[in-house]
Amino acid sequence: MRQMTLLYPAVKKCIIGLLIVPILVMAQAPVNPFQQLLLYANLQPAQLAAEFPALGKIISRSDYTIDDINRWISTNPAEWQAFSQKPEIKKLNVAWATLGIQVPAPAKTFRHSFYQWYAASGISEEKRKQLFPHFPLPDLQNDPDKEEVIYESKVAAWQRLYPEEYERFLNTPELTALNPYYKGYYKLPYVPRFIGAEIGFEKPRKQNTGNEVMDEYNYQLKLRNWLFVFDPEKFNRLYGKDYKFPESFDANAYRESVIKMLNDQKNGVTTGQH
């Protein structure tokens, strides 16, 4: 922003020959740079006080300082944000630091693209619970950068543990309306990811590697596979609605092959799972 200085003319007289020539001497008056800013923006204190009450209390005094403005910014971030975005202020392209004004760093926001897609769709919470109740929501109280890493793992786990929900998610009108590449109903091409997860005869237990999200994900894969093989009735009761299988998938043949492989391992026979 160009330097803003209020100039006042003073007149001196100088004798050159017989002529008296007036010379303008520019006298600079000390002015609070925030006051200068308001003058340049043509913003009146009364107008600002109506929009920004906390700021209004400060600028109503003639002796307020830049320190007062900085305290206002730190204690009233919402007012400051709205003030700095006023068209009259934005057009000046102010370099705040040159005025001694301490602008806070922009607040971090959670920018994970998958969540932003969901949030922008405006889909209701009721519909989310109906169509994809296990879709993970981020902890927006957490540090955004840390939560994004955690959330990436949560979304990946959800996509694999609940493929039917994921398929409904991809084909929900509120979401497809925001997808320029959507050409019609999208069907997921893969067999449920728990198929083939490593299991034994005993019911699996969750490991503790320090990565809670992945530990839970791997445990759920193994648990589903174990129930699918050894307790199909319970599997269907707990998870049946969450999974579909290709017509070519033979569930009984898969169960038999897993049990045979585990028996072979128990008896010391080298074999492979089919």
244 and 196 assigned to the same domain: yes
Cβ-contact 204, 226 below 8 angstroms: yes
Q: Domain end: 140, 171, 188, which one?
A: 188
Which residues, listed in sequence order, are joined to residue 27 by a DSSP beta bridge? 8
- Enclosing H/E stretch for 19: strand 19-28
163 and 198 assigned to the same domain: no
75 and 141 assigned to the same domain: no
What is the reported pLDDT for 270? 55
Name the amino acid, one letter, at 152: E
Is position 8 within any domain?
no
Of 237, 216, 219, 215, the residue nearest 228 (C-alpha): 237
Q: Domain end: 69, 99, 129, which one?
A: 99
- Reading the chain (274 residues) residue by residue, the pLDDT tens digits are 444 333 334 434 443 343 444 444 444 444 789 999 999 999 998 889 999 999 999 999 989 999 999 999 999 988 998 999 999 999 999 999 999 999 888 778 888 989 999 999 999 999 999 999 999 999 988 899 899 988 988 998 898 889 899 999 999 999 999 999 899 998 887 788 899 889 999 999 999 999 898 899 999 999 999 999 999 999 999 999 888 888 878 899 899 989 988 988 888 765 444 4
Round to whole Å and give the CA distance between 166 and 160: 8
82 and 150 assigned to the same domain: no
Q: Which two tokens stand for residue 150?
A: 């955690």
196 and 258 assigned to the same domain: yes
Cβ-contact 59, 38 below 8 angstroms: yes
> By residue range, what is the domain housing residue 151?
108-188
Is position 25 within any domain?
no
The number of beta carbons lying within 10 Å of the beta carbon of residue 233 is: 9
224 and 203 assigned to the same domain: yes
118 and 165 assigned to the same domain: yes
198 and 179 assigned to the same domain: no
Q: Domain end: 140, 160, 188, which one?
A: 188
First to last CA, the chain: 71
177 and 199 assigned to the same domain: no
Cβ-contact 154, 176 below 8 angstroms: no
Round to whole Å and give the CA distance between 112 and 105: 20
210 and 141 assigned to the same domain: no
Round to whole Å and give the CA distance between 229 and 190: 19
Is position 17 within any domain?
no
State the total domains in the chain. Answer: 3
What is the reported pLDDT for 119? 94
Is position 11 within any domain?
no
Is position 15 within any domain?
no
What is the reported pLDDT for 17? 41
196 and 123 assigned to the same domain: no
Burial code (b: 16+ CB inside 10 Å, e: under 16) for 111-124 equals ebebbeebeebebe
Is position 27 within any domain?
no
What is the reported pLDDT for 173? 96
Main-chain phi, psi angles of 11, to 5 degrees: -115, 130
Is position 162 within any domain?
yes
113 and 94 assigned to the same domain: no
SS (H, E, C) 34-77: HHHHHHHHCCCHHHHHHHCHHHHHHHCCCCCCHHHHHHHHHHCH
